Amino acid sequence: GDSVTQMEGPVTLSEEAFLTINCTYTATGYPSLFWYVQYPGEGLQLLLKATKADDKGSNKGFEATYRKETTSFHLEKGSVQVSDSAVYFCALSGGFGNEKLTFGTGTRLTIIP
Amino acid sequence: DAGVIQSPRHEVTEMGQEVTLRCKPISGHDYLFWYRQTMMRGLELLIYFNNNVPIDDSGMPEDRFSAKMPNASFSTLKIQPSEPRDSAVYFCASSNYGTGVLAFFGQGTRLTVV
């Protein structure tokens, strides 16, 4: 079945550092890929998405590119801020007939001033 | 739109009691998902509905768990009888396939069974 493997956390960085959180997936067909973010005490929020190979999703300075050849969707940000501290989840959806979201285990990110 | 609304936000109950969690999806969304989040197991899909019909309930852990969606604007997840290992945060999410399956999550119900 479909699965998502995420970089193990927690990750601690200094403010303005470069961020990469790795995500790889296993799926049949052509899944859509997502990054969700969860702030303390809240539900998950969609951060960005990509629906086909070579698409780049971006939002709030975060980017991720759908790489079908390496089955990856790594999350990057050039300069992190304290407010980016949260748990980040990579997810995929199989599309029509397989609409459920399959999540990775999540990566806790802490940014130190 | 107010987003996905879950109630209660927090629930503390004694082992053996019945617990009912409630969810109001975003108006117009035709998919509804119930997830459970724990430190040990992460986010697990319990069940999802399409147009009020259960499509996949393979994630429901035991017969103690049941979910219903009597209409497009309301769903319940019931645990009877509850056990301490059911303690978790339960999330409801809704989406509309026409928007590319962008699931919008509620704020969750934190359940503690003592």
Query: For chain B, how many helices (H) and strands (E)?
Result: 0, 11
Enumerate the residues of chain B whose CB falls inside 8 A of the CB of residue A105. Answer: 42
**For chain A, what's the residue count?**
113
Is A73:A64 a contact under the CB 8 Å cutoff? yes
CA distance B37 to B20: 17
Q: Is the pLDDT of residue B6 over 90?
A: yes
A/B interface, count of CB pairs below 8 Å = 53
Q: Stretch B66-84: mean pLDDT, rounded? A: 97
**For chain B, what's the residue count?**
114
Q: Is the pLDDT of residue B98 over 60?
A: no
3-state secondary structure of A18: coil
Enumerate the residues of chain A whose CB falls inside 8 A of the CB of residue B31. Answer: 99
3-state secondary structure of B90: strand
Quick one: closest CA in B to A37, which residue? Answer: B105
Mind listing the pLDDT tens digit for each residue in A54-76? 999 999 999 999 999 999 999 99
Q: Is the pLDDT of residue A48 over 80?
A: yes
The answer to whether the Cβ–Cβ distance between A100 and B56 falls below 8 Å is: yes
Residue B1 confidence (pLDDT): 63
> Which of A3, A49, A99 is the best substitution to test chain B (most B C-beta atoms within 10 A)?
A99
Is A73:A66 a contact under the CB 8 Å cutoff? yes
Mind listing the pLDDT tens digit for each residue in A7-40? 888 999 999 999 999 999 999 888 899 999 999 8
Under the banding of pLDDT at 50, 70 and 90, the label for residue B95 is: confident
**Residues linked to residue A48 through DSSP beta bridges, in sequence order:** A35
The answer to whether the Cβ–Cβ distance between B97 and A102 falls below 8 Å is: no
Name which of A43, A46, A93 is nearest B108 (Cβ-Cβ). A43
**E-assigned strand segments in chain A:** 3-6, 11-14, 19-21, 23-26, 32-38, 44-50, 56-59, 62-65, 75-77, 86-95, 98-103, 107-112
CA distance A50 to A64: 8
Averaged pLDDT score across all residues of chain A = 92
Q: Is the pLDDT of residue B14 over 60?
A: yes
Residues of A in CB contact (< 8 Å) with B are: 32, 34, 36, 41-46, 49, 51, 89, 93, 95-96, 99-106
Residue A42 confidence (pLDDT): 85
Tell me the percentage of chain A whose pLDDT exceeds 70: 96
Quick one: closest CA in B to A34, which residue? Answer: B102
Q: What is the Rg, in whole angstroms, of the alpha carbon atoms belonging to chain B?
A: 13
Q: Is the peptide bond before B8 cis (omega within 30 degrees of 0)?
A: yes
Is A100:A3 a contact under the CB 8 Å cutoff? no
